[in-house]
Structure 1
């Protein structure tokens, strides 16, 4: 994401990196100054500032999706 006032707001459903928390999250909702994120596959939402976000590459998005699937497999009986 850009760090100026004209920064593009990420679209709902896209994956972004919250650089402040070093977490990849899916955009759930946006406001003019904040973005609501949730880990792919569910979990508790968190709020990030637009300037703390950057788009993720294919590798980072795939890594987040695989981690979610692996975590779900561990909880199966």
Structure 2
């Protein structure tokens, strides 16, 4: 039995709009805003400029990363 690699890309399709993902290249968490050409467009959870990421360079966030992103969105909503 082989050990599961948590960083392995295990997606059959590109992540959907609104999904929280992590850019493997720099560790930044972003929300999927769309797809342009071969790239996934991520935007910081608190808003800001989107950046393009090759689909093989995104991964699902850890529970901690996902919670942190959701808190950032809530804080932005409430002006904090």
Which TM bucket (shorter chain)? 0.7 to 0.9
- Counterpart of 1:24 in structure 2 is 29
Q: Any runs of at least 4 consecutive aligned residues in structure 1 with deviations exceeding 4 A, and if so which?
A: none
Question: Gapped runs of 5+ residues in structure 1?
Answer: none
What is the rounded CA distance, in whole Å, between the counterparts of 2:26 and 2:12 in structure 1?
20
> Please, what TM-score do these two structures have when normalized by structure 1?
0.73
- Counterpart of 1:51 in structure 2 is 56
- Counterpart of 1:2 in structure 2 is 9
RMSD: 2.4
What is the rounded CA distance, in whole Å, between the counterparts of 1:39 and 1:33 in structure 2?
20
> Please, what TM-score do these two structures have when normalized by structure 2?
0.71
Between the two proteins, the alignment pairs up a number of residues equal to 70
Q: Does 1:34 align with 2:35?
A: no
Deviations 1:14-46 (A, max 9, x none): 000101021000000014520011011311111
Question: Gapped runs of 5+ residues in structure 2?
Answer: 1-7
